[in-house]
Amino acid sequence: MQVYDAHHIRNVALLGHAGSGKTTLAECMLFESGGINRRGTIEEQNTVSDYHDIERERGASVFGTVLFAEWRNYKINIIDCPGYDDFVGEVVSALRVVDTGILTINSVNGVEVGSEIIWKYAKQFDTPIILAINKVDMEQSKFDRAVEQAKERFGREVTVVQYPYNEGTGFNSIIDVLKMTMYSFPAGGGKPEKLPIPAEEKEKAAVLHNELIEIIAESDESLMNLYFEKGELDEDEMRKGLQGAMISRQIFPVFCISAKQNMGSGRLMGFIDNVVPAPVEMPPKITANGTSVPCDPNGKTCAFVFKAVSEAHLGEMSFFRVYSGKIAPGQDLHNEQTGANERMSQVFAVNGKKRSEVNPLVAGDIGATVKLKNTRVNNTLHDKGYDLTLPPIQFPEPKVRVAISPAKKGEEDKLGIALHHLHEEDPTIIIEHSQELKQMIIHAQGDIHLSSIKWRLSNRFKIDAEFHDPKVPYRETIQKSIKGMYRHKKQSGGAGQFAEVHMLVEPYYEGMPAPAGITVRGTEEHSLPWGGKLVFLNCIVGGVIDQRFMPAILKGIMEKMSEGPLTGSPARDIRVSVFDGKMHPVDSNEAAFKTAGMMAFKDCFVQADPKILEPMYDVEIIVPEDFVGDVMSDLPSRRGIIIGIESEGHYQFIKARMPLAELDKYSSALRAMTQGRATYSKQFAEYMPTPPLVQQKLAADYQAHRHDEE
C-alpha cells in the first residue's frame, strides 16, 4: 500500500460510552474512504472492527481495534475502543499513541458515566478531543441538551461547529457554522448537497459562528488582533487557530452525526484531514529521562509497542507507533526493556483482521508486525546504540478479584500458561499465585471483564475454568501484653532435648518504650514478608541461655507467626522479649530451643487477646446524582464508612473506606443499583480489626475447616 509521510497521517481514537455508536461510525469512515464497499452492522455481525467471535456474540466491543482509512491523500489511523469501563485498558493504550480523540455521545442519553471516565484519561494524556454527538436521527434525540451537559462536564471550551437542522426521525440536514453551509443528505446517507442556511436558522448560525471565531481568536494573540482589525477571520485563519486551540485543549469542537444513516461522517473526516493536528504538529514525545524525540522520518528509529494480539487467524501481532525514523521489513531493532534484539520480519497496516504490507512505516504512523520473540506491551524498540526509554502506559488498578481453577484436575499448568498469554495481551488482567491463600487469583476491571476472560479460556484455549470466592488475606495480632514460658523436655534413650524459654509478648507500635524492669541487650527489627513487623529483644543476662540458641528461638517464633491460631493467617506487629530460660549442658540444642520458642510464643499469643485484622480499601465511587441516595444507604450494609462526598457537574464523588471482603462483589451490586451508570476505583489503605461478630465467625469457620481436614 501507499507510504504516507507524517504530514499526511492522522491518528484518532473513537471513544465513548457503550452504545454510543463508535463501531458504526468506524464503518462509515471506512465506507466513505472506499476501504469497504458495504457498511456492516452490529446486528448482522459483519463490521470490520468488532470481528472477534466474543464481540459478535456479545454485540459490543471488547478490544481496541486498529483500522485505517485512506482519504483524500491522507491516511487516518483509527482505533475503535470499547465503551465498557471493564475494558478501560484498551482506551488507555489507545490514548497513549493517538493524537486526537473523537468522543461519541448518544444524543438520546446525553453525557454518560463512560464518557466522564474517558474524559479523565484524555485529560491525563493532554489529548485533543472532538465531540461527535451521534444518533440525532432518533426520535428522542436532544442535541442541545447533550451540548449543555458537555459544557457542564467538560467546560466552556466545548464549542458547536455543527448542529442538526431537523433532528429526530426526519433528520437529514446539518448546519455547519464553521463553513456557514447546510449539508442536506439523500435517503440512505452518503455525499450531501451543499445548500444555503435557511432563513429561520441564519440568526442562530451567526451567533454560533461568532462564538466559534471568538474562542479561536482567544487561543492565539495574533489571531485576536486580526479579529479586532477585520471583525472576521477567513477560513485559513480559522483552520490555523482551530488546530492550535485543539492542541492546547482550548477548544473541543462539537459535530453532529447519524452513523447509522451515514450522515455527517464525511464532513467529520474532512475536518480530521484539514484541521486535526498531524503527528509532526504535536509536541514531541519525551523519554523517561527527559529527552525529546521529534517526529522526524530521517531521525533514529524509535517505536513504542502499545498492544499485542494472539489469534488463530492472525498469529502473534505486536502493534506499535513509530515516533522517529522508519521501520522496514528485515530491520534489526533493540528492545530497551528486555535487552533483546528483534528483527522486523514484515510490517503491516491493519484493518481489523485484514492486513496490508507496507514498506517502510514512517515516523508518526501506526502499524503492526509479527513474531517478535522478546517484546511486550510497553516496550521501546530503537536503533542499536541509541539509548532511550519511552514512558510506559500506566494502566488502572484492578477493581475486582476472583479465584480460578480448572474444571479438570491436571490442567493447572495449562491454565497458568493461558492466563499468562491473556495478561501479555491485556495488562489490566493481573494473575496472582497466592501461596498464602493457596489460590490462583485473577484481578480484573469488573464482572464483564471476568466473563470475557472465562469466555476466552473456554473458546480459545479450550480450558473450562471455574470461578470461586477468593479468600481474604487476613492478619492476626494481639491487644495486650503477656508473660509466659515453655519448657521443652524430651527423653527417648541416648541424648535428649531440653530447653526452657521465658518471654514477654506485647503489641508493637512505633516509638514504644523499652519493657519495664527488663534489661535489653540486643534488638532485631524484622519487616515481615506479609506486612507489619516483629521486634525481637534479647534480654538474657547471666548466660542462662547461650547466645548461639537465640537465632533458633527467633526462628521458632517466626514460624509460628506465619500461621496464627485464630484463622491460620500470618501474625504481625508484635514485640517479643526473651528475658529468662534454662538449658542443659548435654541435651540442649537448636532444635529444642526452636520448639520451646515456638510453643512459648503460641501460649502467650492466645492469652494476649488476639485480634483478626482485615485489609481495608479507600474507595471512590463516581455516581450520577439520581443514584447517590441508593449508593450511600447501601454502603453501611457492606461495612463501608463514608468519609466524604464531592460534587462535580452531574456526578457525585463518594469517598468511603470498605473491607476487601465486601468489595469482592461490589462491582456487580453497584452496576445493578445504578443501571450501570456508576463506577469506582479502590486503593489499599491499611489493616484494621474486624468487628467481634465477624471475628467469631471467621475463627469458627477456620476451626470447623481444620476439624474436617483431620
Q: Give the domain CATH number at 534.
A: 3.30.230.10
Structural domain contains residue 709: no
Q: Which of 660, 656, 650 is nearest to 633 (CA)?
A: 656
List, for the chain, all residue ranges whose pLDDT scores fall below the cut of 70: 312-314, 493-494, 707-710
Strand partners, 486: 501
Span 366-411, pLDDT tens digits: 999 998 989 999 999 999 988 889 999 999 999 999 999 999 999 9
Residue 245's H or E segment, with its range, is: helix 235-247
Give residue 451's domain range.
Answer: 400-471
Q: Is residue 153 part of a domain?
A: yes
Residues 64 and 192 in one domain: yes
Q: Check residue 709 and give its pLDDT.
A: 62
pLDDT value for 553:
97
Residue 390 lies in a domain: no
Residues 224 and 125 in one domain: yes
> Rounded to two decimals, what is the model's pTM?
0.89
In a domain, 318, yes or no: yes
Q: What is the pLDDT of residue 668?
A: 87
Residues 142 and 253 in one domain: yes
Question: In the chain, how many domains are there?
Answer: 5
pLDDT at 217: 86
371, part of any domain: yes
Judge if 132 and 265 occupy the same domain: yes
Q: Which long-range contacts (CB under 8 A, 24 or more apart) does 482-491 make?
A: 482/604, 482/607, 482/608, 483/604, 484/600, 484/603, 484/604, 484/607, 485/580, 485/581, 485/600, 486/596, 486/599, 486/600, 486/603, 487/582, 487/596, 488/592, 488/593, 488/595, 488/596, 488/599, 490/592, 491/587
Domain C-terminal end among 382, 416, 446: 382
Of 471, 494, 519, the one marking the end of a domain is 471
